[in-house]
Structure 1
Amino acid sequence: MGREKAHALLLEELIEKSGGCAVVDGGFATQLEKHGASITDPLWSALCLIKDPDLIERVHLEYLEAGADILVTSSYQATLPGFQSRGLSIEEAESLLEKSVKIAVEARDTFWAAKKSSSGHNYNRALVAASIGSYGAYLADGSEYSGNYGQNVTLEILKDFHRRKLQVLVEAGPDLLAFETIPNKLEAQACLELLDEQNVEIPSWICFSSVDGENAPSGEGFRECLDIINKSNKVSAVGINCAPPHFILNLIQRFKELTDKAIVVYPNSGEIWDGTAKRWLPSKCFDDEKFVQLSLKWRDAGAKLIGGCCRTTPSTVRLISKALNAEKCVSTIRQIA
């Protein structure tokens, strides 16, 4: 078996062990903020890689304890130009990217070493997904929710922006790559071409955002976005992150018509981020119980990976994990009967 196939099987096996639907962790910056971290900086949660890496490990462990099967690293907003703008050298910036993976891997290994020897637990050995945020996330102007990068941002510019970060993260040894809040077809194409050009062997997922529940933020239809992804064997899953929960069921049903790849969804709480004012706007916010009720519908509609994004917490993930495990037990009992 080739290494690429072996890596891809890790995700398939995790989904199978999880009863057909694995749990992704929740809002990372949200939990950092609950512990007192400031996330108003343009580096957002990545600032903690510089100032408080121990807090990053603490949050990873909280999500593992809550039942997350997949940890997403703290590298979403961590970019080489972003770190360099703070006066760091390229070597220091690359070291911080690597650290984001190492912290997550060490948290996973520590947690699993403590759990695997004890009987009666319902945990799986979690996988670590290295987060690669969109170009808009780096701009910190909210354009990951508009897809409006301007006419001067070309395919090559996007590839140049992502290339070295991709290389450093892969070399750091995650189990997966998570391309997040991709707002348009052009950036999805850039990610796909880089995966091929760099001959990346670990599986990836690509998640789009959506502001209308029907299309990518750019206004492009998901059919044209998924058509290019379906041609890639480097991408194991595709889906939506950081969109309101009430969009998700319809989008899963739409994606099921457009792709055979696993579907991953981790929406936000329903609040809306104002990228200019750097604050959450009041909106219809779903509490944890409602979020969990919806997550079961998402699972039944065909989602294979479910978690939370901004403004969700370990309590959200804990309830999702418990609900999915309870459903798994019922299904097993029915099969035996």
Structure 2
Amino acid sequence: MPRASGPLAETLARRPVLLDGGLSNQLAAQGCDLSGGMWTGRVLDERPEQVEAAHTAYARAGAEVLITASYQIGYGTPAAGSRDRARTTALLHRSVTLAARAAEAAGHEVWVAASVGPYGAVLADGSEYRGRYGLSVARLAEFHRPRIEALLAAGPDVLAVETLPDPDEAEAVLTVLAETEAPAWLSYTVAGGRTRSGHALPGAFALAAGSPQVIAVGVNCCDPEDVLPALGAAAAVTGKPLLAYPNDGSVWDAPTATWAPPPGTPAAWPVAAWQRAGARLLGGCCRIGPDRVAALGRELRGLG
């Protein structure tokens, strides 16, 4: 079966689409070592068969979009270590190839989304949860351009521009996307009704309103409680399909490289409300595994 029979944007116009879950937690569950600056990129480099196995686990759980292991792979950054440019390009290409293999082996349609993580992710210091890097929009565009070009050369179905903390970085990526014809989604990480850099959500989402390349906007890697207000802000200013793939409410502690679990018993996700707000791409981020994705898929089918 081909991994998908048509553009993702066309399907979003007809029905919701189920995303996968957290790649890092699934790799850890498979016994992989994610220590060091490259995180999931380390497994992509050293044990690529495990990355494919993780994608396969999500496809078997019903995921219709597999997000690649390219989140922390970039050129000339601390996380890249001593790897030269050619090696970095090869890893970016490999990330798409592995997801495509898992997609092609699935028993249903699956799209491949090439992860374009934020600048802060490749610094491997948790700064994607702070933003405000002190870099100009032009400098951020220079950072993102070669990795986007490399990912597109590998042939994904869509770019997943994800976990952006700062509208300046969104503006930079949108500048690069305007040089291509590639479809992409754009997703902020948010907290308390603002982007992680502290910017108001309506203005942050409005940047994508006029971009023909952006097929959906929304949030990821955030507390589930922050999803609905963000979707409302995005719907009010973009008119585009929305997306949501939160984590389980845990908070990332960069100095210890650990997740602090949410207090108390997490509430059930208000998926029906997210759909009513316009969410068409729904899934999970960090600490959301195949079982949770499968349950979300059943819920989406039940909602019709």
Matches within 5 A, 1:265-284: 265-284=244-263
Deviation at 1:16, TM superposition (A): 5.0
Q: For 1:45, which of 20, 40, 54 is the aligned residue?
A: 40
Q: For 1:107, which of 88, 102, 106 is the aligned residue?
A: 102
Q: Deviations over 1:170-195 (max 9, x none)?
A: 01000000111111111001001011
**Structure 2 CA distance for aligned equivalents of residues 285 and 264 of structure 1:** 26
Counterpart secondary structure, 1:308: coil
Q: For 2:303, which of 327, 331, 335 is the aligned residue?
A: 327
Deviation at 1:202, TM superposition (A): 2.5
Q: Which amino acid aligns with 1:129?
A: A
Tell me what 1:163 maps to: 145
Q: For 2:276, which of 300, 304, 321 is the aligned residue?
A: 300
Deviation at 1:286, TM superposition (A): 6.0
**Structure 1 CA distance for aligned equivalents of residues 45 and 38 of structure 2:** 10
**Structure 1 CA distance for aligned equivalents of residues 129 and 233 of structure 2:** 20
**Structure 1 CA distance for aligned equivalents of residues 71 and 265 of structure 2:** 24
Counterpart secondary structure, 1:81: coil
Whether 1:260 aligns to 2:239 is yes
Tell me what 1:228 maps to: 207
Q: Deviations over 1:31-84 (max 9, x none)?
A: 001111122211011111111100011111110111111110010111122488
Report how many aligned residue pairs link the two structures.
Answer: 300
Tell me if structure 1 keeps the 8 A contact 2:74–2:80.
no
Tell me what 2:159 maps to: 177
Unmatched 5+ residue regions in structure 2?
none
Q: For 1:154, which of 136, 144, 159 is the aligned residue?
A: 136
Q: Which amino acid aligns with 1:14?
A: T
Q: Measured at CA, do residues 16 and 193 of structure 1 come closer, stay the same or move farther in structure 2, by a change above 3 Å?
A: closer
Tell me if structure 1 keeps the 8 A contact 2:158–2:183.
yes
**Structure 1 CA distance for aligned equivalents of residues 96 and 290 of structure 2:** 20
**Structure 1 CA distance for aligned equivalents of residues 96 and 139 of structure 2:** 25
Q: Which amino acid aligns with 2:277?
A: A
Tell me what 1:240 maps to: 219
**Structure 1 CA distance for aligned equivalents of residues 185 and 194 of structure 2:** 18
**Structure 2 CA distance for aligned equivalents of residues 324 and 317 of structure 1:** 10
Q: TM-score, normalized by length of structure 2?
A: 0.93
**Structure 2 CA distance for aligned equivalents of residues 148 and 279 of structure 1:** 23
Deviation at 1:147, TM superposition (A): 1.3
Tell me what 1:120 maps to: none
Q: Which amino acid aligns with 1:160?
A: E
Q: Which amino acid aligns with 2:41?
A: A
Q: For 2:26, which of 12, 25, 31 is the aligned residue?
A: 31
Q: Measured at CA, do residues 84 and 182 of structure 1 come closer, stay the same or move farther in structure 2, by a change above 3 Å?
A: closer
**Structure 2 CA distance for aligned equivalents of residues 259 and 282 of structure 1:** 33
Identity value in percent:
34
Tell me if structure 1 keeps the 8 A contact 2:79–2:122.
no
Tell me if structure 2 keeps the 8 A contact 1:75–1:130.
yes
Tell me what 1:13 maps to: 10
Say which structure is richer in helix.
1
User: Between Structure 1 and Structure 2, whose CA radius of gyration is higher?
Assistant: 1
Indicate the larger mover: 76-85 or 101-110.
76-85
Matches within 5 A, 1:2-151: 10-16=7-13, 20-82=15-77, 85-111=80-106, 115=107, 123=108, 125-150=109-134
Q: Measured at CA, do residues 165 and 100 of structure 1 come closer, stay the same or move farther in structure 2, by a change above 3 Å?
A: same
Q: Which amino acid aligns with 1:134?
A: P
Q: Which amino acid aligns with 1:301?
A: A
